[in-house]
Amino acid sequence: MTPNKETGTKFEVWLELLLKRQNYQNVLRNIEFHQSRYLYRQVDLIYTLNSDLVIVEAKYSSNGPIKNKFRNGPIERKTRNGPIHLNNLIDQVMERQYFVGGNKSVIVTNSYFHDNLINAAKKYNEIFLIDGQDLTKMWKKLKGHGSINNSIKNTRITEGDSKADKVSLEMLYK
């Protein structure tokens, strides 16, 4: 596992524990939602809030804001109607939310969001942003010690923490 991948996994594990400490229900991390053998989406975290399925996209940054545009250009995703091209993070999150049947999406970072991402997210009532300042408030409210970044770096991960659990959409909604 690369250092960046390890830090991202630690951030996801840390968020999972934070959500559970706040008594969110059905918190699952690193889930693959399958519609068929080759048609699936990976989700960093999910939880239920009342009867809503909430999708969480975790974005750890050690060097500046989280931007909306992808660094390496558009990405292609398979759909039942053929491939689609996604140009930015907000489109990717919304496409993933619709794919898995989620009601809301939350993008979380330990850092902060670039204005272009904030403005793009405002176009959707279903997307919420939580930045490093918000996380620090949550952390302190739960009596967390030290900075969130130190806590994330000190989070222990085990071998299985980076592997995705596979879930069919039928299993989730039964």
Residue at 137 is within a domain: yes
Answer yes or no: is pLDDT of 61 > 60.
yes
CATH number of the domain at 132, please. 3.40.1350.10
Q: In this structure, is residue 71 part of a structural domain?
A: yes
In terms of residue numbers, what domain contains 9? Answer: 3-167
The C-alpha atoms of residue 57 and residue 46 are separated, in whole angstroms, by: 9
| Residue 53: inside a domain | yes
Asked if 16 and 152 count as a contact pair (C-beta separation under 8 A), the reply is no
| Beta strands 39-49; 52-59: pairing state | antiparallel
Give per-residue pLDDT as tens, 75-115: 999 998 899 999 999 999 999 999 999 999 999 999 999 99
The structure tokens listed for 4 are 């960046």
Question: Is 79 inside any structural domain?
Answer: yes
Looking only at the bridges linking them, the beta strands covering 25-36 and 165-168 are parallel
Q: Give yes or no for residue 3 having a pLDDT over 90.
A: no
Residue 44 belongs to some domain of the structure: yes
Number of domains within the chain? 1
Task: Quote helix, strand, coil % in the chain, to nearest 5.
Answer: 35, 30, 35
**What does pTM read for this prediction?**
0.90
Looking at the domain assignment, is residue 174 inside a domain? no
